[in-house]
Amino acid sequence: MIRTVAVVIFPGFQILDAAGPAAAFEIAERFSPGSYDLVLMAPGGGEIESSSGLKLSARPLEEGALDTVVMSGGDIIRSREALQEILAWLRRVEPRRMTSVCSGAYLLAEAGLLDGRSATTHWANSDDFSRRYPKIRLDAERIFIRDGDIWTSAGISSGIDLALALIEDDLGQEIARRTAHQLVIHQRRPGGQSQFSALVELGGRTGRFSGLIAWMREHLAEPLTVERLADHVAMSPRNFARTFAAETGTTPAKAVERLRLEAARAAIETGHTPLEHIAEAAGFGDPGRMRRAFLRNFGQPPQALRRAARPQQSRPA
Determine the pLDDT at residue 306.
83
Determine the pLDDT at residue 143.
81
3-state class (DSSP) for residue 206: coil
Q: What is the pLDDT of residues 243-269, one digit of tens each?
A: 998 888 789 998 999 899 988 988 887
Determine the pLDDT at residue 246.
87
Which residues sit opposite 47 in a β-bridge? 57
Measure the CA–CA gap between 67 and 60, rounded to whole angstroms.
Answer: 17
* pLDDT over threshold 50, residue 192: no
Determine the pLDDT at residue 315.
38
Q: What are phi and psi of 305, to 5 degrees?
A: -65, -35
Q: What is the pLDDT of residues 193-227, one digit of tens each?
A: 455 455 566 677 778 898 999 899 999 999 999 99
- Domains detected in the chain: 3-182 (3.40.50.880), 197-309 (1.10.10.60)
Residue 309: pLDDT band with limits 50, 70, 90: low
Determine the pLDDT at residue 234.
97
* pLDDT over threshold 50, residue 311: no
Measure the CA–CA gap between 138 and 154, rounded to whole angstroms.
Answer: 11
Residue 295 burial (10 A CB sphere; 0-12, 13-18, 19+): middle
The DSSP H or E segment spanning 19 is helix 15-31
Q: What does pTM read for this prediction?
A: 0.68
